[in-house]
Structure formats: C-alpha cells, structure tokens
Amino acid sequence: MIAKWIGKRVIMGTIVLIIVSFLSFFIMHAAPGNPAAAYYGGNAQTLSTAEKERIEKAFGLDEPVLYQYGTWLREALQGNLGYSAKEGRPVAAILQERLPTTLQLVVLTLLIVAIASTWLGLLAGMKEGSIVDRVLSMFSIASSAIPPFWLGILFIMVFSVQLGWFPTSGMNDVRGEGGLVDRLYHIVLPLTVLVISHVGIFARFLQDSVKAENRSYYVQVAFANGVPEREIRTMVFRNAVIPYINYIGMTIPSFFGGSIVVETLFGWSGLGQLLVKSVMVKDFPVLMGAILIIGVVVVICLFMIDVLMICLNPRLRRGGIV
Amino acid sequence: MFNIENLTVRINDKYLIKGMTFTVPKGQITAIIGESGSGKSTTISALLGILPAQATLEGTIFFNGRDLIDLSRDERLALRKKHFFTIFQDATNSFSPTLKMKQQLYSLTALRLGHKNEAFLAKIKVILKDLNLSEDVLESYPFELSGGMLQRCMLACALYNEPDVLMADEPTSALDMLHQQEFIKRLKKLHTQLGTTVLLITHDLGVAASIADFILVMKNGEIVERGQVAEIFEQPKHLYTKRLVANHF
C-alpha cells in the first residue's frame, strides 16, 4: 500500500517537473531577443551572419522550439543538463556549486520561520483578544506588505552603511579565511529579511487556526467536563498544526522566490542570483537547469510534507487515502 | 442540590435567560423542555460556568449550599471535575478528530479522578462491554465510529465518573429511534444504580415523559410552567405548554 502511494507520488512529481520545464522552456523562447546571443558573448557586433548561422546550427538553435525541448528533456532524463552558454562549463557543475548556498539560506529561513511563527501563533491564538493577539495581527499585515527588496535596502543602509555591523553583500570576507563564523556573519542580513517577510503571515495562519480550533465543539466538551487546560491545549495544538504544516508545504516555493530577490540584493551566490544573471545573458541551459533543480527540491519538500501530514492526520492514514 | 434564584443571562442588551428560579432536587431527574432558542442550553452553560466571556450573569446559583456565581475559574474547574459530568448533543464532534478514543476517554475520566492507566483500562472495558461496545473502540479514532457509538462512549464516561450531577443537553436528538430508546434505558439505569441527579435538556417531550420526575417548560428565556410529569402532560396550564403537548401527541 505504502509502496503504491510512494510510486504514485513519484509519477506525479515527475509530471509536475515536466510541465514546469516545458512551460519555462517555451516562455524563455517566447521572450524578445535571440537565444543564441549568450553564445556570441561580447562578439555579437563583429560576427558575420554566416558565423552566427554556424553557431546556431552547432547548438541546434535553428531547430523548432518543440524539437529543442525534446532534445533537452531527453538529455536531462539521462542526467546531462548541457553546458553553460556563457561559461562553457557543465550546468550540473555550476548547480552543484550554487545549490548548497541557496539551501543554507532557505533551510535556515524555513527553520527560524517555523519555530518563531509556531511560538508566536500559539501565544496569540491561545489568548484571543489579548494584546499579543492584536499586535501579531498587525505585525503580520505589516510584514507581509513590505517588499523584501525594500527591506533589504533599508537593512543595508542602516546596519551596513550607517552602523557598520554587517557586510553589505557577499558570502565571505575577502581578507579572512572563511569558516562558519564568517558565513554566519554574512548570512545575518539576507536571512533576517527573508524571515521578517515570511514569519508574520505564517504566525497569523497558526494564530487563526488555533482560534478556530479553540472554538471547536470538542474543546467545549472537554472544558465543560473538567479536562485540565494543559491537556486541552495539547489537543488544540495537535489539530491546529495540521493545516499550518500543509500551509508551509504549499508556500515552500515562495521561499525560493524570495531568495532570488534577496540573493541578488546581498550578492549571495546561490541559485537565485544565478537565475537572475542567466536571464540577463540569456544563458538558457543554466536557466533550465536551475529551474529544474529548484523544482526537484520543491517536489521533494512537498513529498516530505505529505509524509508528515499522513503521520499527523489519522484520517489520511486510516481513511484509505494512502 | 441546585438552588437557582433570579438567574439572568444577557449579552449586551439581549436577554438569553430572564429571572429563572428553580431547584434541581438531589437524586431526581429534572427535565427542561422547550423549543430551540428558548434558553435551555444557556441554562446548562450558566450552571457549569462556561458562558461566553461577553455574557453577563446575575442572580444566584447555589450548589450544595455554596453560591457558584463568584467562584474563580480554577474553583469552577475543580467543581466540574469533582461533581459534574455533561453529555452534549453532538457526539460526532464531542471528541478530538486526531486522537484515539482510549486517550480521550482517559482524559474525560481517569485524568479527572487521578486513576492510573491500568485501573482505567480495567474499569472502562467493563463499562464498554455493558454498553455493547467492543474493546476495539479504544483503538479507534472518532471518525471510525457512528454517532450512536460515540454517544454511548460519552455515557461510558459518565458511568466511569459516577458524578453527583449528570447534565445532558439534547443527548438523544442526533440518534435514531432505536439508539434513543437504548440511551434512555442506560441513563435510567445510571440514575437508579448510582442515585445520580440528572438535569436533562430536551425538546423531545417523549424523552422527557419517559424518564423525568419533574419538568420545567421554557419559552423565550423564562420558565412558563413547572410540575410533575403527569401534571404537565395531563393538565397543562400555560398556552405554550398546551401547544407543545398537543403537537407531540
């Protein structure tokens, strides 16, 4: 039964990745400009038409888009993501360098957001109408309304330029030897921006979920029958956390989206920054590789969330859904 | 046992209960009857001290000579744990959907009384068997059981707790006829065996007639008539009671 469910999920995940890559490939080719421009590099002005045609033919760019996509997909399924049009290096090698730095940022953000929003959401939700409840409601609206790029610029101005507490950008001190402390020192500002732009809305979701659960019939029954409040709180949390975890799962892609802006702003050399640079120079093989790898990570995360949901929700376990 | 005088409950300017005065004698079954919205459930909430925060409560509620109105939240909780047990209307939603029944029945019984798990299991299994429920119920989740089974689980909790007062708010309204009769039979047995005082809220006159010793008729937050079962059903005085009785038979 479980093997069948996992098999189904793997097939669904693969279909999602194929759809994502298909749409990305066609949107890229529909954008203005010549996809061969990245191969020309800075020599576009000096190349003759014949030379341009030769380059396009060599890289298959003269073929119909559907044919090009088919070729890319066939190679990708065999583990070959091609070569960067800009750098000439294998895309897989570039992604291997960039993925861990993005994951550092995203996983750390997710962890802090999950812990902080759980604490805040529970605190506010359990004390409906209290000051904490009202302050959190306002904070969540404010924090989700502030664009991360603006907050990032503000942080750079205040904490880097004026106070000089943190570096404006980069991942390591050029004069230093690197290491964990140096990396943490550089990650503080981008991490804080990402956490602030997510934590309010997550805490608000849990806060509302706890409030709704607190009004549940079974809570009234337990309360009326003298079940200790601690026991009731545990029941409420257990039930309120299920939609909250589902919500985290659904919004995981937004963490990667947020990291694109933040990485670019803070010079964090991860997949987000790579994506932006690749768009600028129309490095389609790298773009496709980066989109695919982010897609794979998101699909894996969603799979893990599904497993967690099954563990937490007996209706999914015993209701024959699995 | 309960002595209620001039009980008034309102939310802002809306009166839910207006100046109710009645007693719930020890060891008897008192039924409060009336249509939906007449204030029956609010009466139970007031007695239990679980009214919504925005509600204003006036009057006196004496339980065994002690006024409950000014009790603190903790004192109320202690009182509910020690003396009362309440069965509510909607058994399907009376239990947390993600916990096994064993854990929930434990919270509603042994945890209140300070019993150990082994003692709980030994006692609850006997009670469940007596209520025609298999031991498998303990390992089930609420969504795996029918409404009738869940209501019997609540009754099992009441039997386990042996409370001084059992309050039942429309306990049979979600059950089919067969389960209704079965439930009434069990409730009667609990009352006879343990001498439990029962306060029954119902809109079903048949249920009240079959089990109650004394009946209070409520309309728009007020008691419009009171009396022994025979009096109410054979010689109703108030127009509203006459209409209720006429509609039932």
Residue B93 and residue A314: Cβ atoms within 8 Å? no
Q: What is the pLDDT of residues A38-56, one digit of tens each?
A: 776 666 667 777 777 887 7
What is d(CA A104, CA A187) in angstroms, rounded to the nearest whole number?
A: 9
pLDDT at A176: 65
Beta carbons of B31 and B208 less than 8 angstroms apart = yes
**Of all residues in chain A, what percent carry a pLDDT higher than 70?**
93
Q: Is A317 at the interface with chain B, CB within 8 A?
A: no
Q: Is residue A162 part of a domain?
A: no
Mutation site for B-interface testing, chosen from A127, A216, A217, A221 by largest number of B Cβ within 10 Å: A221
List the single residue in A129, A225, A229 with the smallest CB-CB distance to B86: A225
Per-residue pLDDT band at A63 (split at 50, 70, 90): confident
Q: What is the CATH number of domain B2-248?
A: 3.40.50.300
Number of domains chain A is built from? 1
Q: Is A228 at the interface with chain B, CB within 8 A?
A: yes
Give the distance from residue A217's alpha carbon to the nearest chain B alpha carbon, in angstroms: 6
What is d(CA A298, CA A294) in angstroms, rounded to the nearest whole number?
A: 6
What is d(CA A287, CA B162) in angstroms, rounded to the nearest whole number?
A: 70
Q: Is residue A161 part of a domain?
A: no
pLDDT at A110: 93
pLDDT at A165: 92
pLDDT at A42: 64
Q: Which residue of A has its CA nearest to B47?
A: A224
Beta carbons of B42 and B9 less than 8 angstroms apart = yes
The pLDDT mean for chain A works out to 87
Beta carbons of A268 and A76 less than 8 angstroms apart = no
pLDDT at A174: 62
B contacts of A223 (beta carbons < 8 Å): 50
Q: Is A231 at the interface with chain B, CB within 8 A?
A: yes
pLDDT at B44: 92
pLDDT at B72: 87
Range of the domain at A265: 91-149+175-276
Q: pLDDT higher for A199 or A181?
A: A199
Residue B50 and residue A216: Cβ atoms within 8 Å? no
Name the token pair of A123. Answer: 């605190």
Q: Is residue A296 part of a domain?
A: no
- Closest CA relative to residue B183, chosen from B213, B214, B149, B146: B149
What is d(CA A264, CA A170) in angstroms, rounded to the nearest whole number?
A: 10
Residue A319 and residue B143: Cβ atoms within 8 Å? yes
Task: For strands B14-24 and B2-11, give the pairing.
Answer: antiparallel
pLDDT at A107: 92
What is d(CA A307, CA B172) in angstroms, rounded to the nearest whole number?
A: 39
What is d(CA A209, CA A265) in angstroms, rounded to the nearest whole number?
A: 34
Q: How many residues does chain A have?
A: 322
Q: What is the pLDDT of residues A3-21, one digit of tens each?
A: 788 888 889 989 999 999 9
pLDDT at A82: 87
Residue B93 and residue A226: Cβ atoms within 8 Å? no
pLDDT at A259: 84
pLDDT at A62: 79
Three-state DSSP at A6 gives: helix
Give the distance from residue B83's alpha carbon to the nearest chain A alpha carbon, in angstroms: 10
pLDDT at A94: 92
Q: Which residue of B has its CA nearest to A311?
A: B98
Checking A8-16 for CB contacts under 8 A at 24+ apart, the result is A9/A303, A9/A306, A13/A299, A13/A300, A13/A302, A13/A303, A16/A295, A16/A299
- Closest CA relative to residue B110, chosen from B95, B96, B124: B124
Task: For strands B55-63 and B222-228, give the pairing.
Answer: unpaired
Rg for chain A, CA atoms, rounded: 24
Give the distance from residue B119's alpha carbon to the nearest chain A alpha carbon, in angstroms: 18
pLDDT tops 70 at residue A173: no
Q: What is the DSSP letter of B140?
A: S
pLDDT at A5: 80
Beta carbons of A219 and A213 less than 8 angstroms apart = yes
Tens-of-pLDDT digits for all 249 residues of chain B? 889 999 999 998 899 999 999 999 999 999 999 888 889 999 999 999 889 888 999 999 999 888 888 888 888 888 898 999 999 989 999 999 999 999 999 999 999 889 999 999 999 999 999 888 999 999 999 999 998 899 999 999 999 999 999 999 988 887 788 888 888 888 888 888 888 999 999 988 888 888 999 999 999 999 999 999 888 888 888 888 888 888 776
pLDDT tops 60 at residue A186: yes
Strands in B55-63's sheet, in edge-to-edge order, are: B14-24, B2-11, B55-63, B66-67
What is d(CA B80, CA A224) in angstroms, rounded to the nearest whole number?
A: 7
Mutation site for A-interface testing, chosen from B90, B107, B199 by largest number of A Cβ within 10 Å: B107
Q: Which residue of B has its CA nearest to A216?
A: B93
The predicted model gives A303-317 an average pLDDT of 87
pLDDT at B249: 65
pLDDT at A320: 57
The CATH number of the domain where A220 resides is what?
Answer: 1.10.3720.10
What is d(CA A139, CA A192) in angstroms, rounded to the nearest whole number?
A: 15
What is d(CA B44, CA B199) in angstroms, rounded to the nearest whole number?
A: 9
Residue A226 and residue B95: Cβ atoms within 8 Å? no
The predicted model gives A84-93 an average pLDDT of 87
Residue A225 and residue B108: Cβ atoms within 8 Å? yes
pLDDT at A249: 87
Helices (H), A146-179: 148-155
End-to-end Cα spacing for chain B: 32
Using CB atoms within 10 Å of the CB of residue A144, give its burial: 0 to 12 exposed, 13 to 18 middle, 19+ buried.
middle
Name the token pair of A172. Answer: 């390591």
pLDDT at A321: 53
Angle at A71 between CA A66 and CA A77, to 5 degrees: 120
Tell me what percent of chain B is helix, strand and coil, each rounded to the nearest 5. 45, 25, 30
Residue B112 and residue A226: Cβ atoms within 8 Å? yes
Name the token pair of B4. Answer: 């209620």
Residue in the structure block whose two tokens are 């990745």: A17
Three-state DSSP at B165 gives: strand
List the single residue in B86, B95, B100 with the smallest CB-CB distance to A224: B86
Q: How far apart, in Å, are the Cα atoms of B56 and each of A221, A291, B4, B165? A: 21, 60, 16, 24
Q: Is residue A198 part of a domain?
A: yes
Checking A59-63 for CB contacts under 8 A at 24+ apart, the result is A59/A85, A61/A35, A61/A36
